Structure 1
Amino acid sequence: MPMKMEIDLDEEVGFYEQTIFSQVSEEADNLENADVPETSAHEAEHVEPVGLDEKFSISDVYINEKEAYEAYRSYGYNLAFSVRKDHHSYWPNFRNLKSKDFVCSKASFKKLPDLNIQRKYRRSDTRTGCPAMVRFTVDEAGYWKVKKFIENHNHDLPRPEDRHLLRSCRNMCDEKASVLKAMTDAGIRTIDAFSFLADEVGGVENIGFTMRDAYNFIQKIKRAKIELGDTNTLIELFKERQLNDNMFSWDVQKDEFDRLLNFFWVDVIGKIDYDCFGDVVIFDTSYRLNKYNLVCAPFVGVNNHWQNILLVVAFLSEETIESFTWVFTTFVRMMGEKQPITIYTDQDQAMARAIEVALPHSRHRLCQWHIRKKAPSKVSCYNTNNKVKGLFNKCLSRCDSEEEFENAWAELIIQGNLQDHVWLKDLYRIRNKWSTAFNKDYFSMDILSTHTVRTT
């Protein structure tokens, strides 16, 4: 925790601002008419900005607001706290800025919300009234100087390894934004595009923005693309279909600007099939629309002839927890509050979180095809050590009990010397979702992949 430090470099400006301003103007006029050495004038025109890697200094002078803010923001980054802009004041002519405060993001407190106003979500207040701040004054020449500086915080600071998550330190440069947009336009998922950019710079802590920032950036582009005419046509089509089919159900989700985000529909055949064959459902998000890059997310079942049947179709503008939760909640509501016994998906964390919320009584299973596909690139000895490959495949679907799985997994780790393998540790943590040994007690039709189903 930094040592407490409070500095006031100038006297506080009182109620006689007009008088002081007049004095400052008079002194400025005198300085303007005085003989100033050429070296002093030259130095005043070339005040060097403080670099992002240098420590914040109360004696430094900055040539504009951007440099002053960047200096304090860099200081906040080094100490692992986020910075935001706060109060500012003007000289009596209301033209020239007199002072401006930059504060810790936890400074002050938010106004108490009006409990009479119904809100879908209420964000928790994380502010603590932190006193840490810096106040800059702006002189007649436009230079920014430190007037007041308080260093101490009244809250714990994040760990240094987490400081890349601070809001004031996150920024998506034009180059990375262009690459991110190009990759998603080519059909690559946002999470995969983000992972590619992170690998290019040596990790997520060096990329300059978070995965949430990437999703927000892509979502903003998508929202701008969906034309109002297409949205109205879609809704009119749903209404017309519902007039001809009383069991036809549909729903759309819009954002705060009344723009279309996600939509969902199910017809009478889908409802009947789900009532008969809805114990096991496959949720697939492998396909996208070309025009709006929307994710096509069908719910697929299997009938008594081992044939795939289409139950429901949804289209999503983003693959986030909120979107998936809306889809699964709408699915259950449209299907008479009946939840499937087992639902198969790919290995997506946002999808898993949404299933926990919207389908608490369903067993969530992961597609083994996706896991097998990742194994060669994640585990290097998978391709060279046949015993490791055989044990891995055995853990997937050829263990008859949990005890047999644990023994096979332990031997796999020893054979491949994989005790510290991160991907395998994460996979083992969710073993109940992909290994058949942990799912003998739930009806699943012995399905192993979301892409293929057994046929006669």
Structure 2
Amino acid sequence: MHWMYDVCMYVCLYLLCYIYVGMEPNIGDEGVVEEPKEGMSFSSIEEVRAYYTRYAKQVGFGVTKRNSKTGADGQIRYFTLACVRQGTYVSKASNILKPRPMEHNGCKAKINAILGSEGKFRLTHVVLEHSHVLSPGKARYIRCHKRLDESSKRKLEYNDMAGIQLSKNYNSCVAEAGGYENLTFGERDARNYIREVRLLRLGLGGAEALQNYFTRMQAQNDGFYYIIDVDDETRLRNVFWADARSRAAYESFGDVITFDTTYLTNSYKMPFAPFVGVNHHGQSILFGCGLISGEDTDTFVWLFESWLKCMNGRAPQAIITDQDKAMQNAIARVFPKSRHRFCLWHIMKKVPEKFGAYSQYDDIKSQLHRCVYDTLSRDEFNKCWLQLLDNFDLHDHSWLEWLYSERHLWVPAYVRNEFWAGMSSTQRSEGMNAFFDDYVNSKTTLKQFVDQYDNALRRKIENELAADFSSFHTQIPCITFYGIERQFQASYTNAKFKEVQEELRGLIYCCASLIQSEGGIFIYHVADQVQVIDGFRKSTKYVVEFNEIECEANCTCQLFAFKGILCRHVIRVLTLHDKEELPAKYILDRWRKDLKRDYTLVRSSRDDLSYSPNAYRMNKLNKAFYEISSIAGTSDDGCAKLLTQLSKLKLEWVEVQPVCDNRSTESLGVTKRSDKLKSPVAARSKGRPVSKRKQSSAEKAINRLKARKTQRAPVS
């Protein structure tokens, strides 16, 4: 008899739910949905669709609205909901040998609903039989059963803002749901939503969105600077921008910059041109950047002049670029007093290309490296270079001729007597480009790119703050008993003090011998062992001149002049003279940790991640609900109680409709214009190598589709 008791209890609970909730059992949110029958009544069209969709998902088919009839008052009087596989298939494929998958197969399953005199819709005709196999387990793939809820939207959107790749973004939703089968949307739905959201972040798209973004950033902080160059058709041509913090940081670290344009960033193929320096921790720091439509002298002149105006007319003391002639001409015009050098790495990486076919390639490469890296004076370099040409009969080699004519712009023996903050290449800029690889791809729009520039700034600032904390909170122990080391330990950041200690460790390989002494002036030969590669060392002699009265030393390695770090050869001589403290000129303010730098007090102008009022409200509600659910979820009773309360609340809010579009341009402070800025035309690159970034499956599919359309296009 126990089974009869259980049945009675079940019926009673079921009826109580029906009475309490106030809805018909066949459209409940949980449990089994009963099949449709003629005579069932519903209060609205939405209620009919919601019920039939739930039933369809339970059985394993999709639902579509087939036809309807509207009365004189504009209200729908009659409509039909049918299986998505109703109707017949008509092929639209241009190639009959490659037909597309078909969905329609003439299925007759449907329901008809008519509006009655009492204001309710009643089912008048029901067909349950399908002409195809039903699969409840696969119903989640049908479009009508896919739904991207607000919580998932917010998660996808914020992860996208953080620069997380879409595949990983979607996988986090899968993991949170406990498997693909528990998600109500697929990766394509997530991808489509993110694409839409990116376009809606400012309510506009393309170049006009970019301009509106800059306007809003400047309204937040008048230190934000931007300038846009357009052509006669008001089409975007070039753009430069820098936030307030970057401009302030330039005052401290703008003495040496690197500039490079080797990164084609978006679908318009506009080269990304960052101005990059190095801070007191040796980290890359951004001083603004541009997106340019060309790489000719006039374009670079425009960009450099814009940047110079942004930095209040203060030109950098030194600038590193690649060997681009147009760039070189523009620097000579805009920064005539700045020291300019070519990227050494760019030059030396071309050696295999220029000499790989020679039978004596290894010997040529070895002697060329000796000329570049081992010579300490200009005369020594010239002698070594002439020997290279003679040994291998390379006097007529055009590339070597050009290199020699420009030797004052790249050979270390010619340039290392000046301060370059330890940089000899544009790899700082290229490192910034690689940094952006985490965020952008070839399809990135202009506005998306600027969003990701904001993300890069956030990460760079956070990295610097973490390094500041490390230098103030921790201290690297000394490895010697010299007072000079303790002086650097107290003054320099941890990163720079490590470089000092690297020189101190090298003291064990240094042997100094006095060769001349006169009136307090001492000249030493310092022999050093330098490890070139594993298991191989080379011996080099350096000359150190020391003025004991002024406590001033110079070494032919020029490390202090080039990098601002005292070399081991000078330290060896100082220790021989029992010097325990250095003059202030050898402790550069640039590397100090105990200086308060003004730019750290400047707030960076950037988009607030919670700029959307709708997103702000959702975050507030999610936080409040999480606090309740974390308590209720500790027991089965608490979980059941909270679900019951939520069912009641859902009935109160189900009819509430949004009264406004929170993504309107007015709510975001977008300035309306009569002359709309047009997107740029695709730029032509200078034959740089194509990016090796892997394409996603979606990008490959788009490229194949474009290729087919191009092949089918009629020839005029």
Bigger relative contact order, structure 1 or 2, given CA contacts below 8 A and separation 6+? 2
TM range (shorter): 0.3 to 0.5
Larger Rg: 2
TM (normalized to structure 2)?
Answer: 0.31
